[in-house]
Copies of this chain bind each other. A is one copy, B any other.
C-alpha cells in the first residue's frame, strides 16, 4: 500500500465513525440544494452594488451559524447492503456539495457499467452557450472511476484521454455512460461518453485505473 493510499484509508475510517444520520443527511441535502440555487442566482444577478453588499453580509452571518458546529472533514455515509462508503460531498455526485450539479449515477444491470442523466446550468459554462470542456472532463472522470469500482476493480486514475467531438450544450438534458472495456492485471480500462439530446456523443473518454497494492 502506498503512503497516499494509507492516508486515504485512515482518513475515511475516521469519518465513518462520525457519519451523519438519515435526518441530518436529508436536511443537509436540502441546504446544499438551496446554496446551488443561490449560486445560480449570483451568476445571473443584476442587483446594484448596495444590494449585493447587503446580501453578502447576510450570507456571512449564515456561514457563521453553520460553522458553529463543524466537522473536521466532509461527511461520508455507509451505503446499502454492501456497506461501501459514499462521499456525500463529492464535487460531481455529492448531494451535500453545492458545487456538484449533482450528477447522480445509476448502475446499469448485467455488467453494463454506470450511467447518469443530468442538465447543467450556465454556472458550468465555458464558451458562451456551452459547457466548459473541463467540466465535461470532471464529470467523465467521476463516471469512469465509478464504472471501474462497480466492476469490482476500483483504482486511482492513471491516465485520462478526452476527445471533444462537438460543443456540449447547457440547459438541455444530457446523458453520460461509462463501462469497463478490459482488465489487465492491476490495470482497468474504461470507456465513457457524454451524449446530447440529439443522441450524438459530444465528448468521448478513455481512462486507465491502477488498483492499489495490498
| Cα(A182)–Cα(B107), bound, Å | 42
CA A27 to CA B45, docked complex, whole Å: 11
Q: Is A60 touching B44 in the complex (CB atoms < 8 A)?
A: no
Binding site secondary structure of chain A: helix
Do A123 and B91 have beta carbons less than 8 Å apart?
A: yes
Q: What is the CB-to-nearest-CB distance from A209 to chain B, in angstroms, rounded to a whole number?
A: 10
* Contact bitstring A100-134, B, C-beta under 8 A = 1, else 0: 00000000000000000000001111111110111
* A78 close to chain B: CB less than 8 A: no
Q: How many copies does the complex hold?
A: 2
Complex interface bits, A41-53 against B, C-beta within 8 A gives 1, otherwise 0: 1111111111111
Write the nearest CB–CB distance from A121 to chain B, whole angstroms.
10
> Size band of the A side of the interface?
35 or more
Mask: chain A, 11-26; 1 = CB below 8 Å from B; 0 = not: 1100100001001101
Within the complex, the shortest CB–CB distance from A137 to chain B, in Å, comes to: 4
Give min CB distance, A27 to chain B, whole Å: 4
**Contacts A49-B24, A63-B41; A130 near B4 (Cβ below 8 A):** yes
Cβ of A162 < 8 Å from any Cβ of B?
A: yes
Inter-chain CA distance A123–B124, complex, in Å, is 16
Q: How far is the CA of A23 from the CA of B49 in the complex (A)?
A: 7
Min Cβ gap A67→B in Å is 5
- Is A200 engaged at the interface, CB distance under 8 Å to the other chain? no
Residues of B within 8 A of A150 (CB): none
Confirm or deny: A135 has a beta carbon within 8 angstroms of a beta carbon on chain B: yes
Is A156 in contact with chain B by the CB < 8 A criterion? yes
Min distance, Cβ A203 to any Cβ of chain B, angstroms:
9
Task: Show 10 A/B contacts (Cβ-Cβ < 8 Å), sorted by A.
Answer: A4-B166, A30-B56, A41-B63, A42-B66, A42-B97, A44-B72, A92-B132, A132-B141, A133-B160, A134-B142
| A 140-194 contacts with B by CB, 8 A | 140-142, 145, 156-164, 166-167
